[in-house]
Amino acid sequence: MKKRLFVYFFALSAFSIQADGVNLTCTPYQTVCVNCPEYQTLFPIEQFSSDSGSLDVEADQSEITRNADYHLTGNVKLKSNSYVLSADDVEFSSVNQSTIAQGNVQFQDATYLITGESFAANKINEDLEAEIQSADYQELKSNANGSAASISKTAKKVIFHDATYSFCPINQNDWQIKAKTIVANLEKNRGIADHSTIVFKGYPIFYLPKYSWVLEGRGSGFLQPEYDTYIEPLYTDELSLLYDANYKRSYRLRVPYYFNIAPDKDLTLAYTYMSSRGSIIDNRYRQLLDRKLIGGEMKDSMFDIESEYLFSDDITKLKRWLVNTTTELDISDKTHISTKYNRVSDAEYFKEIKHSDTDLERLLSHLKITYNNQESHLNAELLTEDEQIVNSGTSKYTRAFETSISKSFNTNGSIPIQLDLVSTKFKHDIASKDSGTRIHGNLGITKTLSTKFPVVTTKANVSNTHYKLKNKNNINRTVAGVGIDFAFPLISQRELFNTKTIRTITPKISYNYRAKELQGNIPIFDTEDKYDDIMTFADLTSGERYTGLDRITNANDVTLSFVSNWTALDAEEDDLDLLNFEIAQTFYTDDEVVSDTTNTNYETRLSRSDIAAGIDLAVNQYVFNTDLQFNPGTSKIVKRTNGISYKVSPRKFITLAYNDEGTETSGTIYGAFPLSDSIHLFGGLDKTFSTGIKNKETTGLAYESCCWAFRLAHFKEHTGTYYDYSTGIELVFKGLGSTSSSIRKHIEQNIPYYRANLSE
């Protein structure tokens, strides 16, 4: 009985309402639409008369009767400031403002284009009431179109008798509604069809005695249902899952209902049935709090809350739930509040219930208040955060409370001064871990000694860090440093790949000095070594090896770097450089460097660093990039990342990347390939070669036309203990049902650059 009920809901809600989600609109106001033919109308659109007090008349012949009635024949056209009427034969009464037209009738007003065999109308209180027989019609704004035995039209309502209705382009009605009567209530923005049949590709697929939908925009009602399959493992080791007997194939059906509460708020309420787990109720409420234009960019203040609740898990017999709520609110042009509360009932929720986001390690909740005054060059921030460990993640330090302030002085002068102060209280879920408060202040000064060749820039800074630790002595650290850069930029115009370019060659010599300070007794709260994965050009030339503030490297070094950059002469701001080559190496005078190993002050190093080099090349839609870490002592490349991509559109692209971090190798490939104008394949693979584990694997097929779409996607994701398999199906009919599907979101998460929105 349950399965029959679900099938009924699936069929019913598939043809229920148009709401938020996929944009399948193809109108004259949106010229870019995938697979849409050039926008067509029933007949060429005419301009209305500019004179509101008269009626423009054109005809081959005309005669006037005694009652001041007009009889017009041959290419007749009546044009007012609100409608245009064309026909072979027209009788018009100036007394009662009635019109009768015969033969090749074409009627146009602000909302509809209508053709027919005959036309009869009366003007009542400045409104035109019309009756058209054997008609074809088109609604101008939504492009809804069809045919009818007759159409009765007023300013607020249109009634179609024995009619069809579709949002597909003219003469491309892949699907349509056939109904005894269709009423388009323009005032209520609602369409109602009596005794309606949904016809797809010429075949009737569903009947409804009464069916309602929104004529334009959003409206309350059922959204497109979501259906996918997944496996429920009986054992959690990968070897056991090789045998069919060790896992159970299951399915999930979600039926959402959309509440269009107001133009600035909505609610989606959904019932989900998981065949192996039970029933879930989920909802999402969104509200636009404010909208402001700040710095030429539109910024929205939003409140968004999402929740899921599984009453009783059929397997664990526990209640399972998820809550995710965010608020982004601009208090003023300078002050912003951001809050997020993200929690699940247990760490296995994403693996066992969501079957997505299984690579998440922790959920962070936060409260953040920021103040940004660009005029006075003052920034301030208050932050507190908390974590929940999920999947196979491990606990890390969180900022129980952090305050920071940054102020610039003399920004337009010759010696800009920057003052930064940040205080952070760190906590950890494991009680044995060090915790406490870190207060860090930094004063930095920069001065440009020469803007001519060579460009000479000097800098100096002094910082003090104070650690107030729980169950340990306080620690105080003061570090000062200076530096100078000599840059020799050479700029010229050249031609590359038959393109006029600006070539910039910049050799640079940098010297940095920073005092040597014992730091082995300082705990590691948020510091990581940039060189752990690969030493890049940006890492080497930044002057600081570590992220965070718990370790600050000593320096008495000289860095040699070289950058060659080729930029198209007519390049836009976001365009990639045609060619960019960079290489750098640092030479050390101290064979010891501050270590990030706990309770270790220094570690030894050679007198020079490895060579970091990078090449980026962009030719038409092709982009190549490579980062190399080269050891000159062994004359070998010890680490590298390589990438190549070809991007034409979100439906036609391929991206390949390979990473060799010395101890681990991995690679990714993402892409989409069109088989025709409407059909394309998409897929992605993220694999760690050194372990043989496929982290994520996605494959799928999509058919997309102007008025309907179908997607089938299969997901394979490593959860840390076993592979999770799921398959999702999405079906969208333009105007009848569209939803912000979790399947679509899952595809876009696993395949970067791919977009399931048909308007892109």
Check if the beta carbon of residue 75 is closer than 8 Å to that of residue 59.
Answer: yes
> Range with the lowest mean pLDDT among 33-37, 406-410, 566-570?
33-37
Categorize the per-residue pLDDT at 31 as very low, low, confident or very high, splitting at 50, 70 and 90: very low
Side chain identity, residue 690 = S
pLDDT, average across residues 114-138? 87
User: Which residues, in sequence order, are bridge partners of residue 320?
Assistant: 310
> Range with the lowest mean pLDDT among 139-148, 359-368, 641-650?
139-148
pLDDT at residue 248 is higher than 50: yes
Which sequence spans correspond to the domains of the chain? 2-222, 488-649
User: Which residues, in sequence order, are bridge partners of residue 440?
Assistant: 422, 465
Q: Note the pLDDT of residue 745.
A: 83
Instruction: Report which of 581, 635, 631, 627 is spatially closest to residue 611, judged by C-alpha positions.
Output: 631
The structure tokens listed for 292 are 């402001």
Beta carbons within 8 Å of 647's beta carbon, 6+ residues apart: 621, 623, 653, 655, 753
| Cα–Cα distance measured from residue 171 to residue 146, given in angstroms and rounded to the nearest whole number | 9
The more confidently predicted of residues 479 and 65 is 479
pLDDT at residue 103 is higher than 50: yes
pLDDT, average across residues 526-549? 93
pLDDT at residue 33 is higher than 70: no
φ and ψ at 539, to 5 degrees? -65, -45
Beta carbons within 8 Å of 140's beta carbon, 6+ residues apart: 28, 45, 110, 111, 112, 113
pLDDT at residue 702 is higher than 80: yes
Categorize the per-residue pLDDT at 181 as very low, low, confident or very high, splitting at 50, 70 and 90: very high
Q: Note the pLDDT of residue 232.
A: 86
| Cα–Cα distance measured from residue 604 to residue 739, given in angstroms and rounded to the nearest whole number | 58
pLDDT at residue 5 is higher than 60: no
What's the Cα-to-Cα distance from 345 to each of 6, 236, 275, 317, rounded to whole Å?
27, 20, 20, 13
Instruction: Report which of 243, 186, 240 is spatially closest to residue 214, judged by C-alpha positions.
Output: 186
Check if the beta carbon of residue 197 is closer than 8 Å to that of residue 209.
Answer: no
Beta carbons within 8 Å of 501's beta carbon, 6+ residues apart: 493, 494, 495, 566, 567, 568, 569, 578
pLDDT at residue 267 is higher than 80: yes
> Range with the lowest mean pLDDT among 115-119, 287-291, 560-564, 679-683?
287-291
pLDDT, average across residues 466-471? 93
The structure tokens listed for 230 are 């997944």
Q: Note the pLDDT of residue 295.
A: 63
> Range with the lowest mean pLDDT among 1-5, 286-290, 632-636?
1-5
Instruction: Report which of 551, 549, 531 is spatially closest to residue 540, judged by C-alpha positions.
Output: 531
pLDDT, tens only, 717-739: 988 778 888 898 887 777 665 44
Cis-peptide into 489, omega within 30 deg: no
What's the Cα-to-Cα distance from 644 to each of 154, 615, 657, rounded to whole Å?
59, 12, 7
Q: Note the pLDDT of residue 590.
A: 93
Instruction: Report which of 155, 76, 165 is spatially closest to residue 110, judged by C-alpha positions.
Output: 155
φ and ψ at 615, to 5 degrees? -130, 130
pLDDT, average across residues 358-374? 94
pLDDT at residue 236 is higher than 60: no
**DSSP reduced 3-state for 5:** helix
Check if the beta carbon of residue 197 is closer than 8 Å to that of residue 207.
Answer: yes
Q: Note the pLDDT of residue 246.
A: 62
Q: Of all helices (H) and strands (E), which one includes residue 587?
A: strand 579-588
DSSP line for 347-386: TTHIIIII-S-TT--EEEEEEEEEEEETTTTEEEEEEEEE
Q: Beta 475-487 vs 499-514: how paired, if at all?
A: antiparallel
Which burial class, exposed, middle or buried, applies to 622 when counting CB atoms under 10 A from its CB (0-12, 13-18, 19+)?
exposed
**Mean confidence (pLDDT) of the chain:** 87
pLDDT, average across residues 355-384? 94
Side chain identity, residue 414 = S
Q: Note the pLDDT of residue 335.
A: 93
pLDDT, average across residues 448-475? 92
Please tell me what DSSP assigns to residue 10.
H
DSSP line for 488-544: --EEEEEEETTEEEEEEEEEEEEEEEE-----TTS--SS--BTTTT---HHHHHTS-
Categorize the per-residue pLDDT at 291 as very low, low, confident or very high, splitting at 50, 70 and 90: confident
| Cα–Cα distance measured from residue 151 to residue 158, given in angstroms and rounded to the nearest whole number | 7
pLDDT at residue 368 is higher than 60: yes
Q: Note the pLDDT of residue 261.
A: 87
The structure tokens listed for 566 are 């080729």
Q: Note the pLDDT of residue 28.
A: 37
Instruction: Report which of 479, 536, 541 is spatially closest to residue 510, judged by C-alpha positions.
Output: 541
What b/e sequence results for 318-355 when a residue is b if at least 16 CB atoms lie within 10 Å of its CB, and e otherwise?
Answer: eebbbebbbbbbbeeebebeeebebbbbbbbbbbbbbb
The structure tokens listed for 245 are 């007997």
pLDDT, average across residues 45-66? 82
What is the chain's Cα-based Rg?
Answer: 34
pLDDT at residue 293 is higher than 80: no
pLDDT at residue 201 is higher than 90: no
pLDDT at residue 3 is higher than 70: no
Check if the beta carbon of residue 76 is closer than 8 Å to that of residue 86.
Answer: yes
Among positive and negative, which fits the CA dihedral 12, 15, 16, 21? positive
| Cα–Cα distance measured from residue 122 to residue 130, given in angstroms and rounded to the nearest whole number | 7
Q: Beta 226-233 vs 247-262: how paired, if at all?
A: antiparallel
**DSSP reduced 3-state for 394:** coil
Side chain identity, residue 603 = E
pLDDT at residue 475 is higher than 50: yes
| Cα–Cα distance measured from residue 381 to residue 59, given in angstroms and rounded to the nearest whole number | 74
Global pTM reads 0.79
pLDDT at residue 18 is higher than 50: no
pLDDT, average across residues 167-183? 87
pLDDT, tens only, 421-457: 999 999 999 988 999 999 999 999 999 888 888 999 9
> Within a 10 A sphere around the Cβ of 586, how many other Cβ atoms?
21
Task: List alpha helices for 269-343, DSSP H.
Answer: none
User: Which residues, in sequence order, are bridge partners of residue 92?
Assistant: 70, 99
pLDDT, average across residues 280-288? 93
CATH topology of domain 2-222: lipopolysaccharide transport protein A fold (2.60.450)
Beta carbons within 8 Å of 495's beta carbon, 6+ residues apart: 501
User: Which residues, in sequence order, are bridge partners of residue 339?
Assistant: 327, 367
Write a three-state SS string for 78-112: EECCCCEEEEEEEEEECCCCEEEEEEEEEEECCCE
The structure tokens listed for 759 are 């308007």
Check if the beta carbon of residue 90 is closer than 8 Å to that of residue 101.
Answer: yes
What b/e sequence results for 358-391 when a residue is b if at least 16 CB atoms lie within 10 Å of its CB, and e otherwise?
Answer: bbbebbebbbbbbeeeeeeeebbbebbbbbbebb
pLDDT, average across residues 258-267? 86
Check if the beta carbon of residue 519 is closer than 8 Å to that of residue 510.
Answer: no
